[in-house]
């Protein structure tokens, strides 16, 4: 089946620094990827939709200048948390649709736990 690889699995950074998270579709091409944020014991909240070759589409309330998304190829989307602060600490998950849009639905990465100290 479709596999999405997310890296790193966890990262600790100092307040004010930037962190980049990668999301790769391993055995299929993904023109669209999705970035979610999950707070402890809460559901996944969609942050933005990453479109290959064009600008990402952000959900209401998500700062596009703080959460930079780049989808430069059909297999890679990156999320950069700029000038991170402790309130950005969360679990970030990426997702991609399978090529047909029908067979597997959506495939999720294993997530990245970000801790800002």
Binding region for another protein (CB under 8 A): 32, 34, 36, 41-46, 49, 51, 57, 93, 95, 97, 102, 104-111
Nearer to another protein, 64 or 85 (CB): 64
Rounded (5°) CA angle 42-12-107:
50
Nearer to another protein, 15 or 27 (CB): 27
Contact 69, 78 (CB under 8 A): yes
How near is the Cβ of 111 to another protein at its closest, in Å?
6
CB-based contact 114:37 (threshold 8 Å): no
């Amino acid at each position: 089946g479709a596999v999405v690889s997310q890296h790193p699995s966890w990262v600790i950074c100092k307040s004010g620094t930037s962190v980049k998270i990668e999301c790769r579709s391993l055995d299929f091409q993904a023109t669209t990827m999705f970035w979610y944020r999950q707070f402890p014991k809460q559901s996944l909240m969609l942050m933005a939709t990453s479109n290959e070759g064009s600008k990402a589409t952000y959900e209401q309330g998500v700062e596009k200048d703080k959460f930079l998304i780049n989808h430069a190829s059909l297999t890679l989307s990156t999320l950069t948390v700029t000038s991170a602060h402790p309130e950005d600490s969360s679990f970030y998950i990426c997702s991609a649709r399978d090529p047909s849009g029908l067979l597997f639905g959506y495939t999720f990465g294993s997530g990245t736990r970000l801790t800002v100290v």
